[in-house]
């Protein structure tokens, strides 16, 4: 049996290692082999010294490196031996050759240290709208990923149409119909990487003139439209959700209205039934598209499920959602469920193929839905967050601090006077807290939410999903201590 040529064998061994062995053009040609040997030794010393090769890093076998560099095997072997003798490298039988401990720089690739941007120290993390990282279903995700990759057709790993994986669109259409009441064919779904990316797509494609939003909401959602030239106006929010009756007075009439009807973000109330029907009638009568962000639609606790508004008028409502809370913001999967007449416009606005999303992740999520593990995870998460919410509510109530907006979702609103909101937020950095403020999320031209006394109110937004399991009780105690400093002898009343 004839053995492989060494160059073919070398391709299967070792790792890539870039070394610049160019010799000056005016260097003498005699002794070129010795020059290359010296150049190789100097390059390896330099790579170790400046941190390109770090302590403990394994080098390619000398035969593999020789084949890559076009050098004699004896040349590379002798250089390795020389550097071992000098203490730059270590060599052990069966373990190969590696950079010696104690040599080299811990910095990357000889570049000057980057200017570090120091993040504030967060001792008590109540960040808004984030799931607990410990709840990610690692085992279920790994099983689904393994099944999805091993059973997918070869075509699944090629370029994908801009609406994303067909398998996930089919699975998602069934899941949204069953769990949220959404009425859609798989071909009406365009997959994105997040709700924000979906809004960006709508903003640059369809709605560049005038958009209405709720008075309170995430600023970067509003910014998605203003960046593309739209005038963004606000409609008031009260304890029945968005005051949709105010839409008739807006001038100019908005091209679209962005709402969070299931769980208003961030006030935490659902859109009242009468207002839901009024909104749908107005959209149909004025031929206006609505954008429904199904914020916290799956994470409900002690109330009857509120179905998606989209089911009332699928021809007029663009429905959007993601897995950023149900799974993780690191899983970059979102979706737009579109009226049929908008599908081709949005789909091809993305380009001829999917430009951003990981199709492999889409296949894994499709398997989770099809196998039932996604539903199981949602139910488990709901129980986890319900217990946390109860601990938070009871602890705050024991100190006379009331909450609202806690029937669903991952945050609670503690209503406080506007000056108290400002004072508490000003103290968060010094005291190591991450908290949100209700008034901070208000559209600058919008009226403020009013309390039971009729006066404008602020609020502290407490994300109870974020604190780690090991520190949750301690974090809640620290939160109460913080609030007590600004609410002495004051009993807040729930709105």
Helix axes 219-226, 195-205, angle to 10 degrees: 20
27 has pLDDT over 70: no
pLDDT at 455: 86
What pLDDT, in 10s, does the model give residues 467-489? 999 999 999 999 999 999 988 55
Q: What is the chain's mean pLDDT, rounded?
A: 88
- For residues 310 and 292, what is the distance between their CA atoms, to the nearest angstrom? 7
Cα dist. 107→15, 55, 116, 210, 476 in Å?
A: 21, 11, 13, 50, 40
104 has pLDDT over 60: no
Query: CATH 3.90.1150.10 residue ranges in the chain?
Result: 376-485
Q: Which residues contact 15 (CB under 8 A, 6 or more apart)?
A: 58, 60
Establish whether the linkage from the previous residue to 133 is cis, with ω within 30° of 0. no
pLDDT at 493: 39
Residue 453 banded pLDDT, cuts 50, 70, 90:
confident
CATH architecture of 13-21+28-99: Orthogonal Bundle (1.10)
pLDDT at 491: 45
Average pLDDT over residues 132-145: 97
Establish whether the linkage from the previous residue to 252 is cis, with ω within 30° of 0. yes
Query: CATH 1.10.10.10 residue ranges in the chain?
Result: 13-21+28-99
Average pLDDT over residues 124-148: 95
The segment with the largest mean pLDDT, out of 95-99, 115-119, 354-358, 434-438, is 434-438
Q: Are 324 and 194 in contact (CB under 8 A)?
A: yes
pLDDT at 124: 95
The pTM is what?
0.84
Average pLDDT over residues 167-191: 96
Determine the Cα angle at 441 with ends 234 and 333, to 5°. 95
Average pLDDT over residues 158-184: 95
Cα dist. 432→120, 288, 441, 460 in Å?
A: 8, 45, 21, 15
Q: Are 104 and 55 in contact (CB under 8 A)?
A: yes
Cα dist. 384→38, 147, 300, 323 in Å?
A: 64, 28, 12, 17
Count how many residues are written for the chain: 495
pLDDT at 437: 95
DSSP letters of 156-167?
GGS---TT--HH
Lowest-pLDDT range, 100-104, 228-232, 279-283, 439-443?
Answer: 100-104
Q: Are strands 241-242 and 189-192 parallel, antiparallel or unpaired?
A: unpaired
Residue 382 banded pLDDT, cuts 50, 70, 90:
very high
- For residues 352 and 98, what is the distance between their CA atoms, to the nearest angstrom? 46
Any idea what DSSP says for residue 119? P
> Which residue bears the tokens 């193929």?
353
Average pLDDT over residues 280-307: 88
- For residues 235 and 230, what is the distance between their CA atoms, to the nearest angstrom? 16
- For residues 182 and 169, what is the distance between their CA atoms, to the nearest angstrom? 13
Q: Are 450 and 365 in contact (CB under 8 A)?
A: no
pLDDT at 4: 55
- For residues 79 and 87, what is the distance between their CA atoms, to the nearest angstrom? 12
Q: Which residues contact 488 (CB under 8 A, 6 or more apart)?
A: none
Share of the chain above pLDDT 70, in %: 89
Q: Are 230 and 205 in contact (CB under 8 A)?
A: no
Q: Are 388 and 409 in contact (CB under 8 A)?
A: no
Average pLDDT over residues 350-357: 89
Q: Which CATH class is domain 137-373?
A: alpha beta
Lowest-pLDDT range, 161-175, 289-303, 305-319, 465-479?
Answer: 289-303
316 has pLDDT over 60: yes
Lowest-pLDDT range, 49-53, 180-184, 313-317?
Answer: 49-53
12 has pLDDT over 70: no
Query: CATH 3.40.640.10 residue ranges in the chain?
Result: 137-373
What is the CATH topology of the domain spanning 376-485? 3.90.1150
275 has pLDDT over 80: yes
pLDDT at 271: 94
Count of C-beta atoms within a 10 Å radius of residue 376:
13
What pLDDT, in 10s, does the model give residues 76-103? 999 999 988 888 999 887 778 999 987 6
């Amino acid at each position: 049996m004839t053995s492989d040529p060494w160059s073919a064998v070398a391709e299967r061994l070792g790792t890539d290692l870039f070394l610049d062995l160019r010799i000056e053009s005016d260097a003498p040609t005699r002794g070129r082999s010795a020059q290359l040997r010296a150049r190789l030794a100097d390059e390896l010393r330099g790579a170790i010294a400046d941190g390109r090769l770090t302590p403990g890093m394994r080098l390619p076998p000398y035969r593999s490196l020789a084949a890559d560099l076009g050098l004699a095997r004896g040349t590379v072997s002798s250089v390795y031996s020389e550097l071992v003798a000098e203490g730059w490298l270590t060599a052990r039988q069966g373990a190969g050759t590696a950079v010696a401990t104690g040599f080299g720089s811990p910095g990357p690739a000889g570049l000057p240290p980057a200017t570090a941007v120091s993040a504030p120290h967060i001792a008590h993390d109540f960040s808004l709208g984030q799931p607990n990282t410990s709840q990610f279903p690692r085992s279920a995700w790994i099983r689904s990923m393994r099944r999805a990759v091993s059973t997918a057709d070869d075509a699944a790993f090629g370029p994908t149409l801009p609406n994303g994986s067909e398998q996930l669109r089919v699975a998602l259409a069934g899941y949204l119909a069953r769990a949220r009441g959404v009425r859609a064919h798989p071909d009406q779904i365009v997959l994105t990487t997040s709700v924000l990316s979906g809004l960006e797509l709508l903003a640059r494609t369809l709605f560049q003139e005038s958009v209405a939003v709720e008075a309170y909401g995430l600023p970067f959602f509003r910014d998605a439209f203003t960046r593309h030239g739209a005038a963004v106006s606000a409609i008031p929010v009260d304890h029945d959700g968005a005051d949709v009756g105010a839409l008739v007075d807006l001038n100019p009439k908005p091209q679209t209205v962005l709402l969070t009807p299931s769980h208003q973000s961030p006030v935490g109330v659902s859109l009242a039934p009468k207002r839901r029907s009024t909104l749908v009638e107005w959209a149909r009568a004025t031929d206006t598209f609505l954008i429904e962000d199904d914020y916290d639609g799956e994470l409900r606790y002690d109330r009857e499920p509120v179905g998606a508004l989209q089911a009332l008028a699928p021809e007029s409502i663009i429905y959007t959602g993601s897995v950023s809370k149900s799974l993780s913001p690191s899983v970059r999967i979102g979706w737009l469920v579109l009226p049929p007449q908008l599908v081709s416009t949005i789909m091809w606005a993305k380009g001829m193929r999917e430009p951003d999303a990981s199709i492999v992740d889409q296949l894994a999520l499709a398997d989770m839905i099809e196998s039932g593990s996604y539903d199981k995870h949602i139910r488990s998460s709901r129980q986890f967050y319900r217990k946390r919410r109860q601990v938070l509510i009871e602890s705050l109530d024991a100190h006379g601090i009331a909450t609202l907006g806690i029937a669903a979702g991952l945050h609670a609103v503690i209503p406080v006077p506007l000056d108290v909101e400002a004072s508490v937020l000003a103290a968060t950095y010094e005291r190591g807290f991450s908290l949100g403020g209700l008034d901070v999320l208000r559209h600058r031209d919008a009226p403020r939410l009013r309390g039971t006394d009729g006066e404008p109110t602020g609020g502290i937004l407490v994300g109870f999903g974020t604190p780690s399991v090991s520190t949750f009780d301690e974090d809640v105690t620290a939160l109460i201590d913080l609030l007590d400093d600004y609410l002495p002898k004051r009993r807040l009343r729930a709105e």
